[in-house]
Each structure stands twice: as structure tokens, then as C-alpha cells.
């Protein structure tokens, strides 16, 4: 999932601060049994993980909880991708039960579907515990959106909205020839950009998630040896922490919870592996 292929007034530029903080990352690989493609995409504050895997040529979503995998598959769909999970166990993502891709909301064994009006594709990417949703839709071009109380709101120039926290602050991405992340805060006038996110020295930066503290996860690249590396941004110290697993050419940190537990994926050869872990500073 290279950066260039991502579904891509109060501005504060984020810069890498000089810091004496000692940062560390510990992780565990996550692989659905029998799958050579597993990606972990979202994590809630209970440590439950949502993601996607491929087995026997079919892509399905999964819930990983208490050491067990549960398959999430939309009825009559040829693929299902579970992207996000909130503290109530609500899972969101996208699938194609009617032929065209649309967002889904999964809770207590039941699916509800959601499509942006007139769009050719809708993908739900994140959900908070107020059941606010964010995602992407295609209508000629791709745009990010928020959905709250039955109302859709397009998020301006954002091409992909990937996460929303309890204060309804949204992590999103703007992509053209290059990508950079943005953070949009909720005001009485709607969502406004309060941060632009550039990993120091990177050509492209994409966000994958946001927690209630304003910490961010994502990926940047290319590295000096042409790879894509994951990162976490610590809001309280205004510092970035970039890291890689097994010198992977393709890695991203896709989700982060309030305890700074993170999830994501990394590549080895032609295989994709999910992971979960924790970052500290």
C-alpha cells in the first residue's frame, strides 16, 4: 500500500522537536491462520482489533479479541474490509453486497449499510464511541466525509478521512502528487483544519488514526532506501517517532488507542502481516 496510491483559519504546522525523550516500540505479529495477507486496521481502548485477511482467494474482515479471531463477512459480498472499531464493539468498513462498494456498520451480528448519496463507492474508515463515522466516497474524484445523526458532511479538500475521536476531531489526508495529513477540529461552523502533518524530511505523509489525546499514527516515505515506514506522533511533546519492522519495504501504523497501543501491517516478500504493540516515550 505505497503512499502514492493512497485514497488520497487556524493552521499549526507540526515539526519534529528536539527531544531527550526515550522512545520505544514493542510488537507482536498478527496473522489469521492460513492467510498470507493479514492487515490490522483499527483498535479500541479494550485492545480489540479490526482488520482484513485473504484466505482461499477471498478477502474478509476480522475481529481479534482475547486471542481469538472472528470472521466478519457481509452477506453476498465478494470482499469485506473491517477498518475501525469503537469501545462499544461497533465495527465499520466496506464491502460490495450489491456489486458496488458501500460502507457497513456491524454490531451484535447484524450489518447496516451506508452510501454517500449519488456516489459510486463509499468506504467507512473510522467510528468513535458516539457512533460518529468518517470515511471516503467517490463522485468523479474521491473525498472524505463525516456522518453524524443521519447527516453527511464533505470535508473540503480532504481525500480520505481515517479516524475520529471522542471530541469529534478528525484525522484525514490530502493527496495529489504527494500526500500530507491534516487534523480537523469540530466548531460551530463545522470542521476546520487545525494542523497540517508532515513527517520531517518526508516527501509524503499519510495518517492512519487518532486517539482522544490527539496522538496520531501513520506512515511516511520514501525513506533514504526507498521504503515506507510507520510513525506515531506524540501530541503532548510535539514529537514524531518513526520505526520499521524487519526492514519492511511497506509498513504503516493504521490505528492508535488512548493507551498508545498501536496496530498496522508490514510486508515481507509478497506477504502482508498485521501487528499490534505499544509505543512509549
Which sequence spans correspond to the domains of the chain? 3-280
Predicted TM-score (pTM) of this structure? 0.91
Tell me the fold of 3-280: Neuraminidase (2.120.10)
pLDDT in tens, the chain (281 residues): 444 333 333 333 333 333 445 799 999 999 999 998 999 999 999 999 999 999 999 999 999 999 999 999 999 999 999 999 999 999 999 999 999 999 999 999 999 999 999 999 999 999 999 999 999 999 989 999 999 999 999 998 899 999 999 999 999 999 988 999 999 999 988 899 999 999 999 999 999 999 999 999 999 999 888 899 999 999 999 999 999 999 999 999 999 999 999 999 999 999 999 999 999 98
Residues whose CB falls within 8 Å of the CB of residue 243, separated by 6 or more in sequence, listed in order: 25, 229, 230, 231
Backbone angle region of 189, left / alpha / beta, with phi > 0 → left and psi within -120 to 50 → alpha: alpha
Backbone angle region of 56, left / alpha / beta, with phi > 0 → left and psi within -120 to 50 → alpha: left
Cell of 75: 452477506
Backbone angle region of 232, left / alpha / beta, with phi > 0 → left and psi within -120 to 50 → alpha: beta
Half-sphere exposure of 131 (CA within 13 A, CB side): 10
196/130 Cα distance (integer angstroms): 25
Amino acid at each position: 500500500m505505497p503512499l502514492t496510491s493512497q485514497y488520497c483559519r487556524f493552521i499549526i504546522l507540526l515539526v519534529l522537536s528536539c527531544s531527550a525523550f526515550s522512545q520505544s516500540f514493542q510488537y507482536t505479529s498478527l496473522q489469521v491462520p492460513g492467510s498470507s495477507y493479514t492487515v490490522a486496521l483499527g483498535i479500541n481502548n479494550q485492545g480489540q482489533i479490526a482488520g482484513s485477511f485473504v484466505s482461499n482467494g477471498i478477502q474478509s474482515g476480522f475481529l481479534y479479541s482475547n486471542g481469538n479471531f472472528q470472521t466478519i463477512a457481509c452477506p453476498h459480498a465478494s470482499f469485506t474490509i473491517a477498518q475501525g472499531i469503537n469501545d462499544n464493539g461497533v465495527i465499520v468498513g466496506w464491502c460490495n453486497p450489491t456489486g458496488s462498494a458501500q460502507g457497513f456498520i456491524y454490531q451484535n451480528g447484524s450489518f447496516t449499510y451506508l452510501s454517500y448519496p449519488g456516489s459510486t463507492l463509499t468506504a467507512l474508515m473510522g467510528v468513535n464511541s458516539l457512533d460518529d463515522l468518517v470515511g471516503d466516497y467517490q463522485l468523479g474524484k474521491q473525498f472524505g466525509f463525516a456522518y453524524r445523526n443521519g447527516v453527511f458532511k464533505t470535508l473540503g479538500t480532504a481525500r480520505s478521512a481515517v479516524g475520529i475521536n471522542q471530541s469529534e476531531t478528525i484525522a484525514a489526508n490530502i493527496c495529489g502528487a504527494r500526500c500530507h495529513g491534516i487534523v480537523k477540529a469540530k466548531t460551530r461552523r463545522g470542521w476546520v483544519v487545525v494542523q497540517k502533518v508532515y513527517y520531517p524530511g518526508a516527501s509524503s505523509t499519510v495518517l492512519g488514526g487518532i486517539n482522544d489525546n490527539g496522538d496520531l499514527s501513520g506512515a511516511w516515505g520514501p525513506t533514504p532506501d526507498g521504503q515506507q515506514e510507520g510513525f506515531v506522533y506524540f501530541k503532548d511533546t510535539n514529537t514524531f517517532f518513526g520505526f520499521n519492522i524487519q526492514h519492511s519495504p511497506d509498513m504503516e501504523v493504521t490505528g492508535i488507542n488512548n493507551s498508545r497501543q498501536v496496530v498496522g501491517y508490514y510486508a515481507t516478500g509478497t506477504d502482508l502481516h498485521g501487528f499490534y504493540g505499544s509505543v512509549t516515550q
